[in-house]
Each structure stands twice: as structure tokens, then as C-alpha cells.
């Protein structure tokens, strides 16, 4: 494995971590609002708040690691993606700020407002949808590059079947991942009403997740046939993803091994995520930028790899302690202490 592939693999793992942790957070925010307006929030939303209170502050750690790392390992990405994504990323930052303001107002004494809950729930869907633009434009055909500047082609982007299929997949995946975790969390809390509700949500969003994945493959086959061919060469990774998905739905239906069910959901997205990443190599931006273009020198690369692996080994135990002391502590999960 080359240094370029090793460095990108480490960063890809951080981005996968962000995808899982933030999906639970984003989906919980949407369910919090939806349950409030549908008047199912008496017990359910207190369960969601117990999860969000200790977690929301660390959600973006994975995200920060990835963006610092991608510029550190591949400085050229700052020029290509930074210029093209200036407006979309600015929009994402505004959404993240709005979401953060909800945490601040809700946590430090302000009365829970329906407007705040609406902004909280909607941003939970809009943030992942806006962030997927980076993955979409990496397929090529959405960016015009000349000697002077890089320009995002908004007409091609907003009229693209593939772009919208990725947005749909991002939204339904967030809701499926979050529902599958929260059904397990409600079960651990002994909250049967919440458990039944989130179990139903898991079923509701399972099929759309599968169908949206199919739409992405169809869209990719038209947008970037070369990448689609590379995906077919490692079809077994996506076959494993489908297998884990089917097992997760089966255990949800049987109401068995709910902790293992969420692990299967994580494995479903792990195999699909790394299958997509492996098939995308060596391109960072198809037709313009590969992982070998503008890579840092070998000494700096080893320092960065060591630093990020060390960060990973610090982050994982921290998350374990967070789960052990708060999320899955028997008295905390049942709402007996705050």
C-alpha cells in the first residue's frame, strides 16, 4: 500500500466515523421535531435528549480531523474543492451554526420552542444533503477548470439525476441509521413505547435506503461509466453491504439482538463506504486530480499518518468512556440521573 493510499484510508475512516455518529445526531434531531408536531414527544423526546446531551459536542471532531487531514495530505484539494465548494460549504457552515444555536438555547435554560425544534430538525436533513455535493462533484462533469480559476457548474449540478439521487440517499440513510440506533437505545432504557415507535421508523426508512442506493448506482452509470465499471469489479463489497442490511432488517423484525442489529447497520455502511472509496481511486476529482498530484513529501506524510492514527486511538477510547459513563450507564439511560 502506497503512502498516498494509506493516508487517504486513514482520513476515509474518520469520515466514516463522522457519517455514523452525525447520522444518529441528525436523524434524532428530525425525529425530535417530527414527534413534537405529531404529539408523540412525551417520552420519546426525553429519550432523544438523553442521547444528545453528552454526544453533540463531540460529533464534529471526526469532521474536523478529515478536513484538516485532506488539506494536509493533499494540498491541491484546497484549490480545486475549496474554490468550487465555497458557496455550498458556506451554506453548510450556516446550517451547523443554526443547529449549534439550538443546543445552546435548549441546554442553557431557554424554553423549548417549536421554531427552534423546526430549525433543529430541518438542519439535520439539510446538512448531510449539502455536504454530499463534495462527493458528487468528485465524479467529474460538474467543475470547469481553466488556467485561472475553478468554477462549479450549478446548472449541471442541479439538473443532474446522479446529484439528486445522492442527496436522497444521504437523507434516507441518516434517518435509517438514526432509527436503528434509537430503537436499540430505547430498548436499553426499558422505554417500550419509544422502542416500538423507533422500530416502526426503522422499517419505514429501510426500503427507501435500499431504493435510493439503487438510484445512485443507476445515476453513476450514466454520470461516470468508468467509476461504475470499477465498482462492478469489487461488487462483492456491495454484496456484503446488502447482506448486512438484510440481516439487520431480519433481526429488527424478530425483535432480537438489537445491539447486533445496529452493528450490522454500521457494517452495511462500512462495506459500501469503503467499496465506494476503493473504486474511486486514484481519483480525487475525476479528470483533474489524483491522490498522486501534489501529495506532501514522504517525511511529512509519515508524521501526518502517525498523528492521525494517534488521534484515532485517543478518540475511540474517549467515545468508549462517553458511552460507558453516560449513554449506556443503566441509571442514565433510564433517566434516573442527568
Q: Under DSSP, is residue 189 helix (H, G, I), strand (E, B) or coil?
A: helix
Share of the chain above pLDDT 70, in %: 85
pLDDT reading at 212 higher than 70? yes
Look at residue 276 in the predicted model and tell me its pLDDT: 95
CB 197 within 8 A of CB 40: yes
CB 28 within 8 A of CB 134: no
Contacts of 250 (CB under 8 A, 6+ apart): none
Look at residue 294 in the predicted model and tell me its pLDDT: 75
Model confidence at 108, pLDDT cuts 50, 70, 90, reads: low
Mean pLDDT for 253-274 is 92
Q: Give the start-end residues of each E strand in the chain.
A: 143-145, 150-152, 283-285, 289-290
Model confidence at 314, pLDDT cuts 50, 70, 90, reads: confident
Q: Which structural domain, as residue segments, surrounds residue 15? A: 3-333
Q: Give the start-end residues of each E strand in 27-123.
A: none
CB 40 within 8 A of CB 9: no
Tracing cell 442521547 back to the chain, one arrives at 51
Q: What is the pLDDT of residues 269-293, one digit of tens each?
A: 999 999 999 999 889 999 888 888 8
Q: Report DSSP state, residue 171.
A: H
Mean pLDDT for 8-30 is 87
> Among residues 279, 282, 309, 306, which one has the least CA distance to residue 4?
282
Look at residue 253 in the predicted model and tell me its pLDDT: 92
Report pTM.
0.89
Q: What is the pLDDT of residues 223-237, one digit of tens each?
A: 999 999 999 999 999
pLDDT reading at 4 higher than 70? yes
pLDDT reading at 221 higher than 60? yes
Q: Is residue 43 part of a domain?
A: yes
Q: Is residue 233 part of a domain?
A: yes
Mean pLDDT for 242-248 is 95
Long-range CB contact pairs, 288-295, < 8 A, 24+: 288/80, 288/140, 288/143, 288/145, 289/74, 289/76, 289/77, 289/80, 291/4, 291/5, 291/8, 291/74, 292/4, 293/74, 293/76, 294/74, 294/75, 294/76, 295/3, 295/4, 295/7, 295/73, 295/74
Cα angle value 50/55/59 (rounded, 5°): 150
Q: What is the pLDDT of residues 189-206, one digit of tens each?
A: 777 888 888 899 999 999
Q: Is residue 177 part of a domain?
A: yes
Task: Calculate Rg over the CA atoms of the chain.
Answer: 20
DSSP labels for 250-300?
HHHHHT--HHHHHHHHHHHHHHHHHHHHHHHTTEEETTTEETTTTPPPHHH
pLDDT reading at 34 higher than 70? yes
Q: Is residue 338 part of a domain?
A: no
Share of the chain above pLDDT 90, in %: 32
224-253 as b/e, with b when 16 or more CB fall inside 10 Å? beebbebbeeeeebbebbeebbebbbebbe
Q: Under DSSP, is residue 151 helix (H, G, I), strand (E, B) or coil?
A: strand
Mean pLDDT for 234-241 is 95
Question: Domain tally for the chain?
Answer: 1
C-alpha cell at 136: 458528487
CB 137 within 8 A of CB 157: yes
Mean pLDDT for 284-305 is 85
Helices 114-137 and 3-37 meet at what angle, rounded to 10?
A: 150
CB 96 within 8 A of CB 25: no
Q: What is the pLDDT of residues 42-90, one digit of tens each?
A: 556 666 666 565 566 667 777 777 878 888 888 888 888 887 888 888 8
Amino acid at each position: 500500500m502506497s503512502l498516498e493510499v494509506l493516508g487517504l484510508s486513514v482520513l476515509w475512516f474518520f469520515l466514516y466515523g463522522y457519517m455514523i455518529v452525525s447520522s444518529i445526531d441528525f436523524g434524532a434531531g428530525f425525529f425530535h421535531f417530527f414527534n413534537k408536531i405529531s404529539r408523540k414527544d412525551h417520552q420519546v423526546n426525553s429519550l432523544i435528549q438523553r442521547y444528545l446531551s453528552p454526544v453533540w459536542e463531540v460529533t464534529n471532531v471526526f469532521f474536523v480531523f478529515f478536513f484538516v487531514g485532506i488539506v494536509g495530505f493533499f494540498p491541491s484539494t484546497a484549490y480545486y474543492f475549496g474554490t468550487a465548494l465555497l458557496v455550498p460549504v458556506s451554506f453548510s457552515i450556516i446550517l451547523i451554526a443554526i443547529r449549534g444555536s439550538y443546543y445552546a438555547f435548549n441546554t442553557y435554560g431557554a424554553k423549548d420552542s417549536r421554531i427552534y425544534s423546526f430549525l433543529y430538525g430541518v438542519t439535520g436533513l439539510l446538512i448531510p444533503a449539502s455536504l454530499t455535493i463534495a462527493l458528487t462533484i468528485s465524479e467529474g462533469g460538474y467543475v470547469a477548470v481553466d488556467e485561472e480559476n475553478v468554477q462549479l457548474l450549478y446548472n449541471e449540478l442541479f439538473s443532474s439525476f446522479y446529484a439528486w439521487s445522492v442527496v436522497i440517499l444521504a437523507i434516507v440513510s441518516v434517518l435509517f441509521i438514526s432509527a436503528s440506533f434509537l430503537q436499540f437505545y430505547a430498548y436499553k432504557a426499558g422505554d417500550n413505547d419509544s422502542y416500538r415507535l423507533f422500530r416502526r421508523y426503522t422499517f419505514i426508512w429501510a426500503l427507501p435506503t435500499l431504493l435510493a442506493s439503487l438510484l445512485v448506482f443507476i445515476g453513476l452509470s450514466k454520470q461516470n461509466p468508468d467509476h461504475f465499471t470499477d465498482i462492478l469489479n469489487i461488487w462483492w463489497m456491495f454484496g456484503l453491504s446488502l447482506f448486512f442490511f438484510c440481516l439487520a432488517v431480519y433481526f429488527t423484525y424478530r425483535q432480537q439482538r438489537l445491539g447486533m442489529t445496529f452493528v450490522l447497520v454500521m457494517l452495511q455502511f462500512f462495506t459500501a463506504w469503503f467499496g465506494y472509496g476503493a473504486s474511486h481511486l486514484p481519483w480525487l476529482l475525476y479528470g483533474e486530480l489524483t491522490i498522486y498530484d501534489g501529495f506532501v513529501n514522504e517525511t511529512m506524510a509519515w508524521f501526518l499518518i502517525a498523528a492521525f492514527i494517534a488521534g484515532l486511538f485517543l478518540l475511540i477510547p474517549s467515545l468508549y468512556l462517553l458511552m460507558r459513563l453516560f449513554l449506556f450507564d443503566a441509571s442514565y439511560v433510564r433517566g434516573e440521573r442527568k
